[in-house]
């Protein structure tokens, strides 16, 4: 397989030798077809001359392609092709000069130039330089085109394989994450606290109790449907966060203050379900409920060029403890399985606040449901 970069030197030399042998054989065969009385001796004579010119011109052209691909690999494809073409033309002209000199010095072509006529004969042979330069450019561009095609095919196959592996891994992680999320939603402390709050409101504020019951029901439905949802719109995820925070705000009162800010135009961006909820829940438990003065939580979503930044900020201490570590590890795994290298996850301390930032592509490239 042709490859001008990321290959061992021995492999490159072997490929170059094979290509030059093929070109020399092809040229010798064409010349013999034009001969009036072809013979084996004449063929070997013509073949030897063809080999000299092929290795001189082709070797330089091959080296030029390797040089261009290594030094100009970050340039646009059109620039690389132009550089390769120019270098191959130059290689053909220089290779013709070197090949003629070798043939004259070895007398392999039978001309037997003396020291007096050597330079004159060598200069006379320059009439063939444009022809060999054109041949070198054609074969060089052909080989370079084959190399680009093979690289594109390899890259496409690698992307397809990576995508299949990520999807397989994502299915396992999603099932595990959704099971944990469902278990978290029905854990005794959460249920006890929420139901106790509802019970205390029934006699004094029945409408408030009914509202909390509906919000709790919405949370359960969302958690139960998570196993059927491959991705959800950001607007859906943020709606669930509001429902959850409203329930906790009734229970915690003024200790909990929150803000959810979604930049217009990003509501249809698709994300894995229950991606932000564990972060918000951890903020409530660590930054709000455990502190007498409470605290605030901010969930912000904004556009960064063609990407989307999701941010959960609280004014509590840094994440710590096994539950937080487990939640963060699970989120990292789900992001890696969903977006691969196209995402960024970071935890920062900004002005005394803890900020969890998730950066993902901003275009809605997933369907609403993945069955």
Q: Which domains does the chain have, with CATH numbers?
A: 9-159 (no CATH), 186-361 (3.30.565.10)
**pLDDT of amino acid 38:** 64
Residue 132 confidence (pLDDT) above 70 = no
Distances (CA, A) of 74 to 71, 77, 292, 332: 8, 9, 57, 31
Tokens of 151: 């690289």
Q: Region 291-296: what's the mean pLDDT?
A: 86
| Average pLDDT score, the chain | 76
Q: What is the DSSP string of 106-118?
A: HTTTS----TTTH
Per-residue pLDDT at 115 exceeds 60: no
pLDDT value for 228: 67
Task: Fill in the DSSP letter of residue 316.
Answer: S
pLDDT in tens, 240-272: 999 999 988 888 888 999 999 999 989 889 998
Give the residue carrying structure tokens 């070798």.
102
Report yes or no: 122 and 101 within 8 Å, Cβ to Cβ: yes
Where helices occur in 34-117 by DSSP H, the ranges are 40-71, 77-106
Cβ-based neighbour number of residue 69 at 10 Å: 20
CA distance linking residue 150 with residue 156, whole number of Å: 10
Provide mean pLDDT across the span 136-165. 78
Q: What is the pLDDT of residue 368?
A: 39
Query: Quick one: pLDDT band at residue 139, thresholds 50, 70, 90?
Result: confident
pLDDT in tens, 316-343: 777 665 556 777 888 888 888 888 888 9
The predicted pLDDT at position 273 comes to 86
pLDDT bucket at 366, cuts 50 / 70 / 90: very low
Confidence of residue 63 (pLDDT cuts 50, 70, 90): confident
Section 285-311 average pLDDT? 89
Give percent of the chain above pLDDT 90: 13
Pairing of strands 295-304, 344-350: unpaired
Cα–Cα distance for residue pair 342/344, rounded to 1 Å? 7
Provide the pLDDT for residue 12.
Answer: 55
The per-residue pLDDT for range 2-58, each reduced to its tens digit, is 444 445 555 556 666 666 666 666 666 666 666 666 666 666 667 777 777 777 777
- Alpha helices by DSSP H, 205-308: 206-225, 234-252, 277-283
Q: Of 41, 50, 361, 331, give the one whose Cα is nearest residue 174.
A: 331
Q: Could you list the beta-strand ranges (E) of 234-343.
A: 256-262, 270-271, 295-304, 307-314
Residues 6+ apart with CB under 8 A from 78: none
DSSP label at residue 289: I
Q: How confident is the model at residue 367 (pLDDT cuts 50, 70, 90)?
A: very low
Asked whether residue 179 carries a pLDDT value surpassing 60, the answer given is no
């Amino acid at each position: 397989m042709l490859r001008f970069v990321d290959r061992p030197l021995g492999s490159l030399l072997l490929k170059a030798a094979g290509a030059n042998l093929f070109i020399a054989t092809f040229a010798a065969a064409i010349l013999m077809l034009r001969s009036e009385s072809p013979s084996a001796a004449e063929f070997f004579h013509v073949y030897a001359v063809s080999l000299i010119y092929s290795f001189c011109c082709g070797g330089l052209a091959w080296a030029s392609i390797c040089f261009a691909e290594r030094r100009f690999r970050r340039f646009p494809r059109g620039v690389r092709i132009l550089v390769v073409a120019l270098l191959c033309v130059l290689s053909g002209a220089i290779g013709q000069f070197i090949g003629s000199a070798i043939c004259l010095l070895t007398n392999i072509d039978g001309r037997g130039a003396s020291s007096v006529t050597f330079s004159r004969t060598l200069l006379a042979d320059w009439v063939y330089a444009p022809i060999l330069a054109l041949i070198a450019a054609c074969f060089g561009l052909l080989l370079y085109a084959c190399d680009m095609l093979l690289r594109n095919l390899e890259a496409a196959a690698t992307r397809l394989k990576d995508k299949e592996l990520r999807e397989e891994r994502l299915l396992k992680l999603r099932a595990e994450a959704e099971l944990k999320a469902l278990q978290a939603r029905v854990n005794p402390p959460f249920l006890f606290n929420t139901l106790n709050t509802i019970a205390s409101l029934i006699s004094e504020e029945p409408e408030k109790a009914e509202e909390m019951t509906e919000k709790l029901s919405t949370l359960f439905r969302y958690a139960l449907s998570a196993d059927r949802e491959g991705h959800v719109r950001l607007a859906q995820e943020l709606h669930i966060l509001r429902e959850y925070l409203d329930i906790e705000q009734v229970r915690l009162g003024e200790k909990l203050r929150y803000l959810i800010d979604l930049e217009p135009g990003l509501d249809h961006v698709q994300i894995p379900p229950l991606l932000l909820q564990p972060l918000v829940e951890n903020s409530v438990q660590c930054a709000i409920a455990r502190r007498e003065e409470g605290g605030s939580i901010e969930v912000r979503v904004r556009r960064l060029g063609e990407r989307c930044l999701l941010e959960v900020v609280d004014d509590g201490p840094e994440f710590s403890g096994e539950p937080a570590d487990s939640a963060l590890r699970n989120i990292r795994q789900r992001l890696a399985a969903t977006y691969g290298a196209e995402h960024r996850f970071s935890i920062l301390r900004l002005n005394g606040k803890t900020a969890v930032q998730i950066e993902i592509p901003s275009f809605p490239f997933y369907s609403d449901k993945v069955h």
